[in-house]
């Protein structure tokens, strides 16, 4: 019985390899191939920014007076120098009328003294005093007229009025914000960039940005570059202008994409071909009909391309589909894109 069991065990060892040799080989994995070629890539930077009005100001009075008239409509549009508010000017008007009477008297006196001077009926000192008195009174009138203009609060530029914070009859003073005025004919976009890009940023450079709740992609142009980096954040601040705001509002958050003029050299491959590896990133190559894994070092990335700095050479056949089924040594059937 024991000899029979031993013979059966030996027979199984002889038969098993024959059965294995008789199995059909695994079907190759079909995968598309991308031939690696040197490709320049433009570097793109993603950052965040804040939208600001082309011009923005709080409308405040320069005098402490009572508000007698509101000439604008809150939420409406106004032109440059259009009257917005009128302050009580009765005291100034009365003072100017009084000064006008004093000017008339001083002019009469100065004319009489000037007539008498050649006859030596008056002294040169009296003549000079009459002329000086007339000049002083005229200067007083000019001062009051300046104050009178400040009772008429006008728009410093054309734009859209915000919410009104006062009512007629209110006593206002220079710290009282009456309303706000925004020029929305264009929108400023303020955004930071790492200081290492200082040499790549220039005035006139184009950029795109998006805002939450709006599917449109807006275009802008760099208008101002801060001449110094922020010491705390080591970043450079830039300001762009969007000339077609299309309903954009100041204060909104913007996601900015800026493409630099810098062109990086290397191999640009489809981003879908890159897979994680223990050392960072890798790709699968087609070598002698089988998959071969290769570690790579990447540089610039975009939505569709990745720059490879090291690990590939020109002419390598890169596998870009069916990557989850690939393993080193797995047979591959190359297909066209």
Q: Please count the helices (runs of H) and the strands (runs of E) in the chain.
A: 3, 20
Q: What is the predicted pLDDT for the residue at 128? A: 86
217 within domain boundaries: no
Sign of CA dihedral 327, 328, 334, 335: positive
Domain extent, residue 131, equals: 89-150
Q: At what angle do helices 90-116 and 124-149 cross, to 10 degrees?
A: 160
Give the end of a domain, one of 127, 150, 173.
150
Give the end of a domain, one of 150, 176, 198.
150
Separation of alpha carbons 63 and 238, rounded Å: 37
> Is residue 7 predicted with pLDDT exceeding 70?
no
118 within domain boundaries: yes
Q: Is residue 204 exposed (0-12), middle (13-18) or buried (19+ Cβ within 10 Å)?
A: exposed
271 within domain boundaries: yes
144 within domain boundaries: yes
Domain containing residue 118: CATH number: 1.10.287
- Tell me if residue 143 falls in helix, strand or coil: helix
80-123 confidence digits (pLDDT tens) = 999 999 999 999 999 999 999 999 999 998 888 888 878 877 78
pTM: 0.65
Q: What band does 268 get if pLDDT is binned at 50, 70 and 90?
A: confident
Give the end of a domain, one of 117, 150, 183.
150
% of the chain residues with pLDDT over 90 = 58
* pLDDT (average), residues 154-162: 96
71 within domain boundaries: no
Q: Find out whether 109 and 130 touch, Cβ atoms under 8 Å.
A: yes
- Burial readout 150-174 (b: 16 or more C-beta within 10 A, e: otherwise): ebebbbebebbbbebebeeeeebee
67 within domain boundaries: no
Q: Find out whether 207 and 190 touch, Cβ atoms under 8 Å.
A: no
Q: Find out whether 308 and 298 touch, Cβ atoms under 8 Å.
A: yes
Q: What is the predicted pLDDT for the residue at 12? A: 45
Q: Residue 121: which residues within 8 A CB-CB, separation 6 or more?
A: none
319 within domain boundaries: yes
Q: Find out whether 295 and 282 touch, Cβ atoms under 8 Å.
A: yes
Intra-chain end-to-end CA distance of the chain, in Å: 65
C-alpha distances (whole Å) from 149 to each of 61, 62, 326 are 11, 10, 82
255 within domain boundaries: no
> Is residue 8 predicted with pLDDT exceeding 50?
no
Number of domains making up the chain: 2
301-326 confidence digits (pLDDT tens) = 777 888 888 889 999 999 999 899 89
Q: Residue 263: which residues within 8 A CB-CB, separation 6 or more?
A: 40, 41, 42, 43
Q: What is the predicted pLDDT for the residue at 189? A: 97
Domain containing residue 272: CATH number: 2.40.420.20
């Amino acid at each position: 019985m024991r000899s029979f069991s031993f013979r059966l065990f030996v027979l199984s060892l002889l038969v098993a390899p024959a059965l294995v040799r008789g199995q059909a080989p695994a079907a190759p994995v079909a995968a598309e191939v991308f031939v690696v070629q040197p490709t320049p890539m433009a570097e793109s930077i993603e950052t965040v920014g804040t939208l600001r009005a082309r011009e923005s100001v709080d409308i405040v009075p320069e005098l402490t007076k009572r508000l007698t008239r509101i000439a604008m409509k809150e939420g409406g549009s106004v032109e440059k120098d259009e009257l917005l508010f009128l302050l009580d000017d009765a005291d100034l008007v009365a003072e100017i009328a009084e000064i006008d009477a004093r000017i008339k008297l001083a002019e009469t006196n100065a004319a009489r003294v000037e007539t008498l001077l050649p006859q030596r009926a008056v002294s040169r000192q009296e003549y000079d005093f009459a002329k000086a008195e007339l000049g002083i009174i005229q200067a007083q009138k000019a001062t009051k007229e300046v104050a009178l203009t400040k009772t008429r609060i006008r728009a410093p530029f054309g734009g859209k009025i915000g919410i009104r914070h006062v009512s007629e009859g209110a006593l206002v003073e220079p710290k009282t914000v009456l309303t706000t005025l925004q020029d929305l004919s264009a929108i400023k976009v303020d955004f930071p960039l790492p200081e290492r890009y200082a040499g790549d940023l220039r005035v006139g450079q184009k950029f795109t940005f998006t805002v939450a709740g709006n599917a449109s992609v807006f275009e802008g142009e760099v208008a101002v570059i801060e001449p110094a980096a922020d010491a705390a954040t080591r970043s450079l601040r830039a300001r762009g202008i969007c000339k077609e705001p299309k309903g954009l509002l100041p204060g909104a958050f913007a996601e900015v994409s800026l493409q630099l003029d810098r062109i990086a050299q290397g191999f640009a491959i489809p981003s879908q071909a890159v897979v994680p590896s223990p050392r960072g990133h890798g790709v699968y190559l087609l070598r002698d009909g089988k998959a071969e894994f290769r570690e790579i070092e990447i540089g610039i990335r975009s939505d569709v391309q990745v720059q490879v700095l090291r690990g590939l050479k020109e002419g390598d056949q890169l596998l870009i589909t069916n990557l989850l089924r690939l393993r080193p040594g797995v047979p591959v059937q190359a297909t066209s894109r």
